Amino acid sequence: MKKGSAEILTATKQDISWMVDLSHSKRADYEQHQKQFWKMAENSDTIQARFFEEEIQKQNVIALRDFGRSGFVIGKIISPPEVYDAGATLMIDDFCVKSPNLWLSTGLELLNEITSRAKSKGAKQILLVCGNHDLEKSQLLEKAKLSVASKWYVGL
Protein backbone atom coordinates (compact mmCIF):
# COMPACT_ATOMS: atom_id res chain seq x y z
CA MET A 1 0.00 0.00 0.00
CA LYS A 2 1.41 3.38 -1.00
CA LYS A 3 1.20 5.98 1.74
CA GLY A 4 3.26 9.14 2.00
CA SER A 5 6.73 8.42 0.63
CA ALA A 6 7.11 4.75 1.57
CA GLU A 7 5.43 1.75 0.00
CA ILE A 8 4.28 -0.56 2.79
CA LEU A 9 3.99 -4.28 2.06
CA THR A 10 3.07 -7.39 4.00
CA ALA A 11 6.24 -9.07 5.28
CA THR A 12 6.78 -12.65 4.10
CA LYS A 13 9.11 -15.53 4.84
CA GLN A 14 11.51 -14.15 2.21
CA ASP A 15 11.96 -11.01 4.33
CA ILE A 16 13.00 -12.77 7.52
CA SER A 17 16.76 -12.77 6.88
CA TRP A 18 17.13 -9.00 6.54
CA MET A 19 14.54 -8.41 9.29
CA VAL A 20 16.67 -10.52 11.65
CA ASP A 21 19.73 -8.47 10.65
CA LEU A 22 17.92 -5.22 11.51
CA SER A 23 16.62 -6.71 14.73
CA HIS A 24 20.14 -7.84 15.68
CA SER A 25 21.46 -4.30 15.22
CA LYS A 26 18.67 -2.95 17.42
CA ARG A 27 19.30 -5.56 20.12
CA ALA A 28 23.05 -4.82 20.08
CA ASP A 29 22.33 -1.11 20.54
CA TYR A 30 19.79 -1.74 23.30
CA GLU A 31 22.22 -4.08 25.07
CA GLN A 32 24.79 -1.25 25.26
CA HIS A 33 22.26 0.89 27.14
CA GLN A 34 20.92 -1.75 29.56
CA LYS A 35 23.23 -4.75 29.72
CA GLN A 36 21.11 -6.89 32.05
CA PHE A 37 17.61 -6.69 30.57
CA TRP A 38 18.63 -6.49 26.90
CA LYS A 39 21.48 -9.05 27.05
CA MET A 40 21.45 -11.03 23.80
CA ALA A 41 21.51 -14.82 23.83
CA GLU A 42 24.38 -16.43 21.92
CA ASN A 43 22.01 -17.81 19.30
CA SER A 44 19.61 -14.87 19.29
CA ASP A 45 19.50 -14.56 15.50
CA THR A 46 18.48 -18.20 15.05
CA ILE A 47 15.83 -17.84 17.74
CA GLN A 48 14.57 -14.60 16.18
CA ALA A 49 14.34 -16.12 12.68
CA ARG A 50 12.34 -19.08 13.97
CA PHE A 51 10.08 -16.76 15.98
CA PHE A 52 9.44 -14.46 13.00
CA GLU A 53 8.65 -17.43 10.75
CA GLU A 54 6.08 -18.74 13.24
CA GLU A 55 4.57 -15.34 14.02
CA ILE A 56 3.97 -14.07 10.48
CA GLN A 57 1.79 -17.12 9.77
CA LYS A 58 -0.64 -16.42 12.63
CA GLN A 59 -4.05 -14.87 11.92
CA ASN A 60 -3.79 -12.37 14.78
CA VAL A 61 -0.38 -11.06 13.61
CA ILE A 62 0.21 -8.13 11.28
CA ALA A 63 3.72 -8.06 9.78
CA LEU A 64 4.70 -5.18 7.51
CA ARG A 65 7.81 -3.88 5.82
CA ASP A 66 8.64 -0.97 3.61
CA PHE A 67 9.49 -1.51 -0.05
CA GLY A 68 13.11 -0.43 0.36
CA ARG A 69 13.72 -2.84 3.25
CA SER A 70 14.57 0.06 5.54
CA GLY A 71 12.20 -1.03 8.28
CA PHE A 72 9.58 -3.45 9.51
CA VAL A 73 6.96 -3.83 12.22
CA ILE A 74 5.28 -6.93 13.65
CA GLY A 75 2.25 -6.63 15.89
CA LYS A 76 -0.08 -9.15 17.46
CA ILE A 77 -3.70 -8.50 18.40
CA ILE A 78 -4.21 -9.75 21.94
CA SER A 79 -6.75 -9.47 24.74
CA PRO A 80 -5.64 -7.52 27.79
CA PRO A 81 -5.66 -9.21 31.21
CA GLU A 82 -9.22 -9.75 32.46
CA VAL A 83 -8.80 -7.14 35.19
CA TYR A 84 -8.66 -4.41 32.51
CA ASP A 85 -11.39 -3.37 30.09
CA ALA A 86 -9.17 -1.84 27.40
CA GLY A 87 -10.43 -3.90 24.47
CA ALA A 88 -8.40 -5.72 21.84
CA THR A 89 -4.78 -4.56 21.89
CA LEU A 90 -2.20 -4.38 19.13
CA MET A 91 1.01 -5.41 20.90
CA ILE A 92 4.10 -4.37 18.91
CA ASP A 93 7.36 -5.89 20.11
CA ASP A 94 9.36 -5.96 16.88
CA PHE A 95 9.67 -2.56 15.23
CA CYS A 96 12.97 -1.61 13.57
CA VAL A 97 14.36 0.86 11.08
CA LYS A 98 17.84 0.85 9.51
CA SER A 99 18.83 4.20 10.92
CA PRO A 100 17.48 6.45 13.71
CA ASN A 101 16.81 9.22 11.18
CA LEU A 102 14.18 6.96 9.53
CA TRP A 103 11.81 6.84 12.52
CA LEU A 104 9.90 9.97 11.50
CA SER A 105 9.53 8.82 7.87
CA THR A 106 9.64 5.04 7.35
CA GLY A 107 8.81 4.36 11.00
CA LEU A 108 5.81 6.67 10.87
CA GLU A 109 4.52 5.08 7.65
CA LEU A 110 4.84 1.59 9.16
CA LEU A 111 3.14 2.66 12.39
CA ASN A 112 0.28 4.37 10.53
CA GLU A 113 -0.33 1.33 8.34
CA ILE A 114 -0.22 -1.24 11.13
CA THR A 115 -2.53 0.98 13.19
CA SER A 116 -5.01 1.18 10.31
CA ARG A 117 -4.97 -2.58 9.78
CA ALA A 118 -5.29 -3.27 13.51
CA LYS A 119 -8.29 -0.93 13.81
CA SER A 120 -9.97 -2.79 10.95
CA LYS A 121 -9.51 -5.98 13.01
CA GLY A 122 -11.09 -4.43 16.10
CA ALA A 123 -8.05 -3.18 18.03
CA LYS A 124 -8.81 -0.39 20.50
CA GLN A 125 -5.27 0.44 21.60
CA ILE A 126 -1.59 -0.01 20.76
CA LEU A 127 1.02 -1.28 23.19
CA LEU A 128 4.66 -1.17 22.17
CA VAL A 129 8.15 -1.33 23.61
CA CYS A 130 10.66 1.51 23.37
CA GLY A 131 13.97 1.57 25.20
CA ASN A 132 14.44 4.52 27.54
CA HIS A 133 17.49 5.64 25.52
CA ASP A 134 15.76 5.43 22.12
CA LEU A 135 15.07 9.15 21.68
CA GLU A 136 14.29 9.11 17.96
CA LYS A 137 11.75 6.32 18.33
CA SER A 138 10.24 8.15 21.33
CA GLN A 139 9.82 11.23 19.13
CA LEU A 140 7.89 9.12 16.63
CA LEU A 141 5.62 7.72 19.34
CA GLU A 142 4.92 11.19 20.72
CA LYS A 143 4.19 12.48 17.21
CA ALA A 144 1.76 9.57 16.79
CA LYS A 145 0.05 10.72 20.02
CA LEU A 146 0.97 7.61 22.01
CA SER A 147 1.65 8.08 25.72
CA VAL A 148 3.77 6.29 28.32
CA ALA A 149 1.62 3.87 30.33
CA SER A 150 4.30 2.15 32.39
CA LYS A 151 8.04 2.07 33.09
CA TRP A 152 10.02 -1.03 34.00
CA TYR A 153 13.04 -0.88 36.28
CA VAL A 154 15.72 -3.58 36.21
CA GLY A 155 18.17 -4.68 38.87
CA LEU A 156 19.04 -7.35 41.41
Q: Across the beta sheet with 89-97, what order do the strands follow?
A: 2-3, 6-10, 61-66, 71-78, 89-97, 125-128
Contact 91, 115 (CB under 8 A): no
pLDDT of residue 45: 96
**Phi, psi (deg, nearest 5) at residue 131:** -60, 145
Query: Is the confidence at residue 5, as pLDDT, over 60?
Result: no
Taking only the tens place, the pLDDT of each residue in 81-135 is: 888 888 899 999 899 999 999 999 999 999 999 999 999 999 999 999 999 999 9
Percentage of the chain modeled with pLDDT above 70: 96
- This prediction has a pTM of 0.91
4: left (phi over 0), alpha (psi -120 to 50) or beta: left
The answer to whether residue 11 scores a pLDDT higher than 90 is yes
pLDDT band for position 155 (cuts 50, 70, 90): confident
